[in-house]
């Protein structure tokens, strides 16, 4: 809050005051990048959260809280750093002022692999003689089960 004082006249007997409060912009969305992450056991992978207003403009000065749906698989720090604990999947949430953005983290174990691709494209897993195809409306596919 700022107070502005204005005086008028030769003898400065007349004054006026205005109080101005500048508020943070309302959060419209939280974008987490990357939206899909592979986190090998014991490794660290950083995520980034961008807080935006309803028009998509980045906002600063907002605090983001991180959460993992499966901390036994992937832990997440207060700064968005992922740590792979054991094989599996976890949703990672970044929340600011009640608005949440999501990322999906996969932790492959030995003999497993992760593939990221777009819908409708075939994915050839070189050297493994496997072909996977993404169907439906999903943006990404993880293939974690190595077939022989």
Lowest model confidence (mean pLDDT) among 14-23, 47-56, 58-67, 135-144: 135-144
Please state, rounded to an integer, the average pLDDT across all residues of the chain: 76
Rounded percentage of the chain residues whose pLDDT exceeds 70: 59
User: For position 19, what pLDDT does the model report?
Assistant: 74
User: For position 127, what pLDDT does the model report?
Assistant: 36
The tens digit of pLDDT for each residue in 32-89 reads 998 888 888 899 999 999 999 999 999 998 999 999 999 999 999 999 999 999 988 8
Torsion of CA 84, 123, 93, 91, to 10 degrees: -60
Task: Assess contact for 38 and 56: CB atoms under 8 A.
Answer: no
List, in order, residues 6 or more apart from 137 with CB less than 8 Å away.
119
The tens digit of pLDDT for each residue in 89-102 reads 899 999 999 999 99
| Spatial separation of the C-alpha atoms in residues 142 and 19, rounded to whole Å | 55
Look up residue 41 and give its DSSP letter: B
């Amino acid at each position: 809050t700022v107070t502005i004082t204005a005086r008028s006249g030769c003898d400065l007997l007349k004054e006026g005051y205005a109080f101005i409060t500048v508020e943070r912009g309302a959060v419209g969305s939280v974008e987490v990048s990357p939206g899909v992450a592979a986190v090998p056991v014991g490794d660290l992978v950083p995520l980034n959260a961008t807080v935006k207003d309803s028009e998509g403009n980045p906002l600063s000065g907002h605090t983001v809280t991180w959460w993992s749906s499966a901390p036994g698989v992937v832990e997440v720090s207060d700064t968005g750093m992922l740590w792979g604990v054991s094989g599996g999947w976890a949703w990672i949430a970044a929340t600011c002022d009640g608005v949440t953005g999501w990322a999906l983290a996969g932790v492959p174990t030995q003999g497993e692999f992760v593939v990221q691709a777009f819908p409708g494209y075939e994915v050839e897993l070189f050297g493994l003689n496997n072909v996977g195809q993404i169907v439906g409306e999903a943006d990404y596919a993880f293939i974690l089960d190595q077939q022989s």
